[in-house]
Each structure stands twice: as structure tokens, then as C-alpha cells.
Amino acid sequence: MITRARQLNLALAAVLVAAAAACQTHESAVRHRGGQPAPAVDRGFTLVASGDVLPHTSIIERANSDAADGGYDFRPMLAGVRPIVSAADLAICHMETVYGADGDYTGYPTFKSPPQVAEGLAATGYDACSTASNHSLDDGADGIRRTLDALDRAGVRHAGSARTAQEASGATMMRAGSARVAHLAYTYDTNGFPLPQGQPWAVALTDPDRIVADARAARKAGADVVVVSLHWGTEWQDEPDERQLELSRRLTGSRTGGRPDIDLILGTHAHIPQAYEKVNGTWVVYGMGDQIAGEMVNYEGAQDPRGNQSTIGRFTFAPPARKGQRWEVSKAEFIPQAFDLDAGRVVDLNAALEQGAAVGPVRDRIRDVVLSRGAAKDGLVMGR
């Protein structure tokens, strides 16, 4: 008898083979990084975003076993979603943890991850990560420095934590299609760790007035699209909490000259998928869930498979008819995914289903949560 786990593993193997055959190099993906000249003709772009990368001890051990040289290799974990990520014009992840050094790597409760995570994210096709989380200060200012240094070496941009006041003072600007996209990121807390002495700018903390001011400054600096990542919400709760709802209304309702100051909100932290919703005409993802995590235990002390389920959001932006108008989302999609603890791999659930894996109930549960606040009527669809 083939177990459900065995079915998933077999299907995953087929998916990964297909992904390897289909993928082009990262350089050949249709993307325009910050600093490159804009095309002469306006053209739209696709943006994908995914949830928390949270390397528990078991994840670190898996990356070590996947490495051929005794180091750490996170590329195989993410290979199953590389076709989706690398095909986008702009891809944003959430790097929940900070990086250690020289083998000093730890999981829960205070994380220090191998810096090779950054290489795995870059190889998958990610252009940028939000780095503001409740774990941003798990190793103080040194952890932030090591993390951002490693992301820089890998060519992955970042927003939400900083090594200097100057770095913290502006949005992360990137090119996608013919648009300049600003990325801002904030966290509700740092688990009680104080900001480093003399470095109040080290981690961007959630303050509605500051977020709006930063978004307006990014627009003045030339951003066509402003994306805000928020580490927020109540862990293990499917529904967005009142703070998420209030803050989303406030931020999406902020306008300058009739134009919204923020064009997309991407949520992380709850560990499980939460709803997508269009609020004041702007898409809000309350929670994407954990993209990479070890076995997750909920507040009742039980292993909870929802902690290894997540979504990728994919948004297609169309250029405005006239200069100065808003870039509109012409297509909004979500792609259900899960982390297979046995295989140590991120799984595109739709692709796994097509390969015969018995993951329909998991995919359908994620779909129902994502659509639970009526996003289907505003055009959100499940993508592939």
C-alpha cells in the first residue's frame, strides 16, 4: 500500500524533474533589476511574493545533507517553485531569521541560519526579501549585518532592517517591466529584544504614520508602485485579527492627490495561510504562511500541518493610460504550496496534484481560507 506521504514524495520527484528541465538560468528570466535603464515603451510586470523562510534545526540539517561539499545547500528545497518564482519580473520573499557564521547555527527559539540560505533564494529567482520580523534581533546588530551582507553577496535586495541610518532612510527601489517598484517592510515587534544602542533604525517597527510617510517619500523619489511587507497578525489564526483589519483599512485608505499611497500589502508571521482581500481598491494578503519551516507545534502543543502550508501571491500590474495615474493590478492569483517534511522540499500543490499526489484536501483547505473574505468576487483566482 502506498502511503499518502509516499504518494507525495513520488509526485514531488516528478515535479522536480520537470522543473529542472523547464527552468532557464536566472539571467534569462524576464526581469529588469534596479539600476538598469527603463524600456522606452511602458510595459506591465508580474510580481510574486511568498511567505516566511524559517529554518528550524531540522531544516538546517536537511540543507547540510543536500550539500555535496559538507556545507549547506538550500536550492533543492526550493526547486519545486523555481519555475513560478523565476518567471516573474519581480519576486519577493520573507527572510524571517538572521544568519550566523562559522557553523554557529541555531533553530528555535532564537534563530541563526546558515548564510547559504541567501544563495538558495537567489538561485530560485528571488530578487528581494523583507527582513523585518520578530526574529530580526535574535543576534543583535551582528545578526542583521551578517544577514544583509550575505543577501548583498547573493544579489538579493532587502527591506526592513538596516546596517546604517542611511540604509534605513529610504525604500528599496527595483525595476520591474518599465516600472520603478519601492519595497518597504515593517514588523510588529522583536520578541522583546531592544533595538541596538544608538541604532534605533536597525529594524523598522510598525507605525501607521511612519509607513504612510515612507510610502509618500518613495513616491516622491520616483516609485510607480509601492509594496509594503508587514509582519503582523495572530499566530495560528486563520482569520485576520482586528489589528490587521484596522491597519489595512488605514494604509489602503491613505491617498495623495487622489492616488493611493500604497499599491500592495504582503503579510507574514501567522505561520499559516490567511485570506487575500481587496481593501479600498488595493490588494492585501493578510498572511502567506510558512514557505520553509520544520515541524510546527501550535499553542495547544500539537503538531499542526497548517504551519507547513502557504501561498505564493502573483500580481500582474498594468501601466496607467496616462502618466501619474495608478498602476493597476490587472490579474490577481494565488498558488497553494506546502513544505513536505519527509522530503524536505517545497511543493507546488497544483503541480503535485497533476502528478497524482493525494494532496487535494490540503490544496482545497488553503483555497477556502484564501477566498474566505470574498476575494473571488474581486477577481482573485488560483494560478498555476
Residue 220's alpha-carbon distances to 178, 215, 224, 229, 259, in angstroms, are 17, 9, 10, 19, 13
CATH label of the domain that carries residue 131: 3.60.21.10
Question: Among residues of the chain, what percentage have pLDDT more than 70?
Answer: 89
For residue 12, pLDDT over 80 is answered with no
What average pLDDT does the segment 37-65 reach? 89
d(CA 165, CA 200): 9
In this structure, is residue 33 part of a structural domain?
A: no
Look at residue 39 in the predicted model and tell me its pLDDT: 47
In this structure, is residue 4 part of a structural domain?
A: no
**What would the pLDDT profile of 210-248 be if each residue is shown by its tens digit?**
999 999 999 999 999 999 999 999 999 999 999 999 999
Residue 4's alpha-carbon distances to 15, 41, 62, 270, in angstroms, are 16, 50, 21, 26
Q: Which has the closest alpha carbon to 206: 268, 139, 142, 291?
A: 268
In this structure, is residue 7 part of a structural domain?
A: no
**What would the pLDDT profile of 137-172 be if each residue is shown by its tens digit?**
999 999 999 999 999 999 999 999 999 999 999 999
In this structure, is residue 11 part of a structural domain?
A: no
Give one word for 356, left, alpha or beta, with left for phi > 0 and alpha for psi -120 to 50: left
As for how many domains the chain has, the answer is 1
Orientation of helix 140-154 relative to helix 116-124, angle to 10°: 40
Which residues span the domain enclosing 98?
39-382
In this structure, is residue 300 part of a structural domain?
A: yes
In this structure, is residue 163 part of a structural domain?
A: yes
Q: With bands split at pLDDT 50, 70 and 90, how would you rate the model's confidence at 45?
A: very high
For residue 206, pLDDT over 50 is answered with yes
**What would the pLDDT profile of 355-384 be if each residue is shown by its tens digit?**
999 999 999 999 999 999 999 999 999 998
Look at residue 42 in the predicted model and tell me its pLDDT: 81
Q: How many CB atoms lie within 10 A of CB 357?
A: 25
What average pLDDT does the segment 332-340 reach? 98
Rg (CA), the chain: 19
For residue 270, pLDDT over 70 is answered with yes
Look at residue 19 in the predicted model and tell me its pLDDT: 45
Question: Among residues of the chain, what percentage have pLDDT more than 90?
Answer: 87
For residue 31, pLDDT over 50 is answered with no
For residue 78, pLDDT over 80 is answered with yes
In this structure, is residue 32 part of a structural domain?
A: no
What average pLDDT does the segment 263-273 reach? 98
Q: With bands split at pLDDT 50, 70 and 90, how would you rate the model's confidence at 37?
A: low
Q: How many CB atoms lie within 10 A of CB 301?
A: 7
Q: With bands split at pLDDT 50, 70 and 90, how would you rate the model's confidence at 192?
A: very high
Mean pLDDT (the chain) is: 92
Cell output for 84? 513560478
